[in-house]
Structure 1
Amino acid sequence: MSTNSRSHDASALSLDLLLRNLPGAVYRCLNDSHWTMEFLSAGVEKLTGYPAAAFFGEHPIAYASLIHPDDRAQVLTDTNQAVREGRPFQLSYRIITASGKLRWAWEQGSAVVDQDGNVSLEGFIADISALRRADLLAREQASLLDKAHDAIFVMDMHARITYWNKGAERLYGWEERQVLGQRMSDLLCDNHAAFSEALRTAIEEGEWAGELQQHRRDGTTIHADSRWTVVAGDPDTGVQQKILVISTDISERKINEERIHKLAYFDALTELPNRASLLDHLRRALLGSARSRKFGALMFLDLDNFKILNDTHGHAAGDMLLQAVARRLEHSVREADMVARLGGDEFVILVQPEEEMLEAAAHQAETVAAKVVAAMNAPFQLADFMYAVSTSVGVTMISGATDTVESALKQADTAMYQAKAAGRNTFRFFDPDMQAKWTARSELETGLRRALRNHEFILYYQPQLDGDSRVIGAEALLRWRQPNGELLYPTDFIKAAEETSLIVDIGRWVLGTACAELASWQGNPVTRHLSLSVNVSARQFVEPDFVPMTQEILAATGVDPHYLKFELTETLVVTDFAHTVETMETLRRLGITFSLDDFGTGYSSLAYLRKLPLDQLKIDYSFMRDVLTDRNDASIVRSIIALGDSLGLQVIAEGVETAGQRDFLSEAGCFVYQGYLYEPALSGERFTEYAASLH
């Protein structure tokens, strides 16, 4: 007889002895919370210390009461779940015996339904206390289940596999000889973080149960429902702690769940979320908005003249268009936002509540709506022909504090019909006031574009004077002369320009025009010594071509850049400090000087002020207005003047309107002024005349 045959016979004998001496009981009980016994074999006394008769009679012991309180709820939950799913169950839990000691019980059972429909449980309960204390017994117990469908294997506390049953071979594709000694994480696991967390929990708590994504030998992925149980070691025998793992392949169930979820929450044609999914997401968005007090938007879209395509090219072409529209819409929104199809040619976009200010949220919604309308204007390739379509979009702002799912949908739908009534291929806001506001803003943007084309912008120049009332320079100020002759100031339009790319084009025109004016000054003996300050917007300053554009204008106008001064705001400076300093240094090497505009109103900080290549600080007019009556304003102005003096910077005050204000500044050490005390902003011709009059 071979060594392997003798080993096999010895294992079989050991198993037989274990089965004959293993304390345990066969039972049948009601499927209630007490597990009221209908039949119980005498073996229960070896397991619990109570005779079988104690579980019957006038005052029977409830078997469930013997289960350790920490295990009882999970045992009942696992049993009930198995009964509902119509499958057998296997349980391991602790028993409190008659003597108060704890024993580990292993139970295998199933539900039985009689002819009247009553459900009972029947099965076998065994004492596995010794099994949990010894690795050898754990291996033998697992071998009893070698024919089970589930994969059963044992690993040491370092996750190295020490036992592998036939079920594991069938599930994973590796034979026992191929896996012994290998780490489970290396052999099976796709998600190592999830594996590590499961191992940590099992070691710390004695057990872990959950789902793991794993892979087979052939590389295919499966989802496994696993239960890990730590089997105690025995120092007396040298048996080490091990982890018993039972895994069930639930891949088919996961696929079915995903398929059911997709059918329930996604549109079959476009694969976009459907109405049910939209309602769920909208409900959650409103709840989140109510907590965060942030605003979002809901957009209702309807394709214009979609019916014509169906009537002329058939429903197949219509379906192709809807699929193409879905993809284009997905590319037109942010990742956080949601595109859904309600049915037919109706789509909805949910812009998640992320803005604390309604105006900012409305601006974000306008951007998305405009992008969607523009995206739909490009023709679609459908099979062998091109088809042009447009969309009408209704927009409503949403807030969990005031809106419901129903009201938000109704408002967006109403706004969509307003868009159709306005001529289609456009969007409309539901709120009448907001719609009027955004209509006015759109008209303003259109007017700004027209102003650039038609040369409606002009520059005025406000004189800057020293303490001896001599003109030393000027600030270029933008004005917009309307076709009707009305003159608009920057406060009327500059914000709209800054929110679009128009500020870059306007800024280029301002700089070119100002440099041309400065060049003419430099050709006049009266004005050749004057400097000219030009405001530069943050959007313009960070443009990659700002420096080359400036160099091009300087070369074209032939102006001496040493008399050109750029006024920058504190907001611009702190937005990207390193880039700002680098750009300023480059321009400074050309000869351009810098003034920090509106100083004291923003993020004034000595830390950045010391590092900026500045030449001048400009006291904001808001401080000058009450400098003679408000001690705080007076203190701030004195501090700015002292700071400028300590840093070697010239200080200029704007908004100087009275002699008293000028005298205050002079006493504080500021000797450069700009304001109505001298002159308002003048046209180029008038400014030259004014400068000559004071020469």
Structure 2
Amino acid sequence: MALNAHALVAITDARGVIIEVNDNFCNISQYSREELTGQTHRIINSGYHPKAFFKDLWQTIARNEVWSGDICNRAKDGSLYWVQSTMVPLVGKNGKPERYIAIRADITSKKDAEATTRHIALHDALTGLPNRRLMTKRLKSAISIKEQQPGYGALLLMDLDYFKEVNDMLGHDVGDELLQQTALRLSRSVRDTDTVARFGGDEFVIILDNLGVNIDIATSNAKSIGEGVRMAVTDPYHLGHHQLEVTPSVGVVLFNNENEDSQELLKQADIALYAAKEAGRNQLLFFEPALQIETIKRTLLAQDLRQAIDKKELVLFYQPIVNAQHQIQGVEALLRWLHPQHGLVTPDTFILLAEEQGLIVPIGEWVLETACKQLAIWQQDPKHKALTMAVNISVRQLNQTNFVDMVKQTLARTGACSKQLMLEITESIFQDNVSSAIAKMNALREEGIRFSLDDFGTGYSSLTFLKRLPIDNLKIDKSFVDDILDDSRSLAIALALISLAKDLKIQVIAEGIETPEQMKWLQRNGCDFFQGYLFSKALHPSDLHKVLENTALP
């Protein structure tokens, strides 16, 4: 009676044929007593356990030993249930089992809870995809199996271009929905045998196997699947009231050896992903050893850059800005890095590196401090006190909450005149909080500081923002000046920029001037100030002092 109240009971003969069951067994299996009697336990076999599992069970009880374990069974309606089973042999006078008594307890809810816990531990909560832990486990398995199954597999590392901007502009809810839809697209773009996992943030990992034993075929197959993934992600997204077009960058690395290291493969895929970003984004690139060498160089250079200020390796050069009479009106401060081993490192290399490493803010503050010190020195000389100093300001600097106070404190500390300071910004501020940027600019203009808009027309220019921005100067980019005499479109753009600036009461500076013909055209069409190699390259402070003694340039 106690067993019937709390347990599932079944008795079989020596052959395993059921001869008696209790009501609990019938209820959980959904079979009647008549349907079960005369059958073996195959009637409730779920197929979950391998044959070896039951072989061990029968060998144990055939030795007159008690067997205990958890078994997954299948009910009549096809649903699965778990039981904790104890099977006891009833031994006859001949010493052999005559009956087997199975006492079971329903542990389905416990197993479900365990399965849920395992799923949570191994899957990403937002997308439902395997997480980094499960992905690493599957990658190691895909690598190790190469000993028995030769051939190539591939690891793809993908992230979404400009995902941070989506989060910042539209909010994290939209960003999360974008990640969920991306996960769904990725899962639909690969084969059933492939693994799609969320690596973290907006990064996803795809593990491909069985790509072929020939490297050319494997490369082609990996590229085909990867391009399919890339194209799937680039289709427009409909997120609430927003329609977005998002592009991915993908890094790919092949593997075919059981001795390869999973973490090293991830590093190589990351290197290829970075190269895809460098190539302009929305690209799929394969890892090559040369990329790793370049990455190591960049890593070492980044380490050196962190110490460059303290080691006094950074220096400001100054390029003169002249009027129509070639008289120097001011200079633009241009940062240079004099590396002890590599010599002069070009700004287009280390400025981007500074952005990536989060160093652009302290470096930018050093540039402003140094430029203001020079400006203060000039103000002590009657011949040079009217010179202006243009200093480039990055978007990240402008976005700092203390930016206005930092500039004011720098001016006070150095003694530089605010009216002679020109801060140069680029149209990339349009991608961020424009209202906040404008408020900061207005606060500094009240202190006498002026602003110049650099590189206007080279990106996603907005005339609406141009109307709102409190700027004093507009610079025509070198890319237009270069072709101004040969390309009708460059000419038209330059004319339009000059006309627009004049209508807005903004002065125009043309940069990158290299020939007298360019100078004459720009002067004839209304440019106010000029800058370029025609007059002078960027000069070391000691060379600039010599030039300033003669305030006019050839």
TM-score, normalized by length of structure 2?
0.56
Question: Partner residue of 1:310?
Answer: none
Q: 1:257, CA displacement in angstroms?
A: 1.7
Superposed, 1:91-240 pairs within 5 Å as 112-113=35-36, 115=38
CA gap 1:260/1:356 in 2 versus in 1, 3 angstroms: closer
CA gap 1:675/1:506 in 2 versus in 1, 3 angstroms: same
Q: Of the candidates 255, 259, 267, which is equivalent to residue 114 of structure 2?
A: 259
Q: Of the candidates 426, 448, 467, which is equivalent to residue 569 of structure 1?
A: 426
Q: Of the candidates 480, 501, 505, which is equivalent to residue 337 of structure 2?
A: 480
Distance 1:584 1:455 in 2: 30
Question: Partner residue of 1:670?
Answer: 527
Question: Partner residue of 1:632?
Answer: 489
Distance 1:417 1:465 in 2: 50
Question: Partner residue of 1:594?
Answer: 451
Superposed, 1:417-428 pairs within 5 Å as none
Distance 1:264 1:417 in 2: 27
Superposed, 1:196-595 pairs within 5 Å as 253-260=108-115, 262=117, 279=137, 295=158, 351-352=199-200, 354=202, 410-413=260-263, 432-483=289-340, 486-595=343-452
Q: Tell me if 1:693 matches 2:547.
A: no
Q: 1:253, CA displacement in angstroms?
A: 3.1
CA gap 1:661/1:356 in 2 versus in 1, 3 angstroms: farther
CA contact (8 A) 2:253 2:265 kept: no
Structure with more relative contact order (C-alpha pairs < 8 Å, separation 6 or more): 2
Distance 2:475 2:267 in 1: 52
Q: 1:515, CA displacement in angstroms?
A: 0.6
- C-alpha offsets along residues 357-412 of structure 1, whole Å, 9 cap, x if unaligned? 99xxxxxxxxxxxxxxxxxxxxxxxxxxxxxxxxxxxxxxx9697658x8799342
Question: Partner residue of 1:649?
Answer: 506
Q: 1:259, CA displacement in angstroms?
A: 1.9
- Bigger Cα Rg: 1
Q: Which amino acid aligns with 1:649?
A: I
CA gap 1:594/1:263 in 2 versus in 1, 3 angstroms: closer
Q: Which amino acid aligns with 1:256?
A: K
CA contact (8 A) 2:316 2:333 kept: yes
Superposed, 1:67-106 pairs within 5 Å as 86-87=29-30
User: Could you say what secondary structure the match of 1:541 adopts?
Assistant: helix
Q: 1:669, CA displacement in angstroms?
A: 1.3
Question: Partner residue of 1:611?
Answer: 468
Question: Partner residue of 2:241?
Answer: none
Give the percent of matched residue pairs that are identical in Structure 1 and Structure 2. 33
Q: Which amino acid aligns with 1:255?
A: K
CA gap 1:630/1:294 in 2 versus in 1, 3 angstroms: farther
Distance 1:643 1:572 in 2: 20
Q: 1:563, CA displacement in angstroms?
A: 0.7
CA contact (8 A) 1:597 1:617 kept: yes
Q: 1:434, CA displacement in angstroms?
A: 3.4
Distance 1:399 1:665 in 2: 44
User: Could you say what secondary structure the match of 1:553 adopts?
Assistant: helix
Distance 1:495 1:417 in 2: 21
CA contact (8 A) 2:320 2:536 kept: yes
Q: 1:254, CA displacement in angstroms?
A: 3.4
Distance 2:382 2:479 in 1: 36
User: Could you say what secondary structure the match of 1:601 adopts?
Assistant: coil
CA contact (8 A) 2:132 2:198 kept: no
Question: Partner residue of 1:168?
Answer: none
User: Could you say what secondary structure the match of 2:310 adopts?
Assistant: helix
User: Could you say what secondary structure the match of 2:309 adopts?
Assistant: helix
The root-mean-square deviation of aligned C-alpha atoms, in Å, is 4.5
Distance 2:258 2:487 in 1: 49
User: Could you say what secondary structure the match of 2:470 adopts?
Assistant: coil
Q: 1:629, CA displacement in angstroms?
A: 0.9
Distance 1:459 1:417 in 2: 36
Structure 1 unmatched ranges of 5 or more = 1-81, 89-108, 121-250, 285-289, 298-333, 338-348, 359-397, 419-428
Q: 1:355, CA displacement in angstroms?
A: 5.5
Q: Which amino acid aligns with 1:444?
A: L
Distance 1:356 1:625 in 2: 42
Distance 2:414 2:250 in 1: 54
- C-alpha offsets along residues 217-260 of structure 1, whole Å, 9 cap, x if unaligned? xxxxxxxxxxxxxxxxxxxxxxxxxxxxxxxxxx9633322225
Q: Which amino acid aligns with 1:86?
A: S
User: Could you say what secondary structure the match of 1:475 adopts?
Assistant: strand
Question: Partner residue of 1:658?
Answer: 515
CA gap 1:416/1:355 in 2 versus in 1, 3 angstroms: closer
CA gap 1:688/1:598 in 2 versus in 1, 3 angstroms: same
Distance 1:473 1:493 in 2: 26
Q: 1:565, CA displacement in angstroms?
A: 0.2
CA contact (8 A) 1:461 1:687 kept: yes
- C-alpha offsets along residues 627-661 of structure 1, whole Å, 9 cap, x if unaligned? 11111111111111111011110010100000111
Distance 1:501 1:635 in 2: 39
Distance 1:356 1:259 in 2: 27
- C-alpha offsets along residues 252-311 of structure 1, whole Å, 9 cap, x if unaligned? 6333222256569969xxxx9898675569999xxxxx9xx86269xxxxxxxxxxxxxx
Distance 2:411 2:341 in 1: 34
Which deviates the most, 672-681 or 565-574? 565-574
Q: 1:568, CA displacement in angstroms?
A: 0.3
Distance 1:262 1:624 in 2: 64
Distance 1:583 1:409 in 2: 57
- C-alpha offsets along residues 8-66 of structure 1, whole Å, 9 cap, x if unaligned? xxxxxxxxxxxxxxxxxxxxxxxxxxxxxxxxxxxxxxxxxxxxxxxxxxxxxxxxxxx
CA gap 1:86/1:549 in 2 versus in 1, 3 angstroms: same
User: Could you say what secondary structure the match of 1:618 adopts?
Assistant: strand
Question: Partner residue of 1:196?
Answer: none
CA contact (8 A) 2:198 2:204 kept: no
Distance 2:135 2:358 in 1: 37
Q: 1:605, CA displacement in angstroms?
A: 1.1
CA contact (8 A) 2:132 2:200 kept: no
CA contact (8 A) 1:113 1:119 kept: no
Distance 2:412 2:393 in 1: 19
CA contact (8 A) 1:294 1:354 kept: no
TM-score, normalized by length of structure 1?
0.45
Q: Which amino acid aligns with 1:115?
A: G
Distance 2:266 2:437 in 1: 44
CA contact (8 A) 2:509 2:531 kept: yes
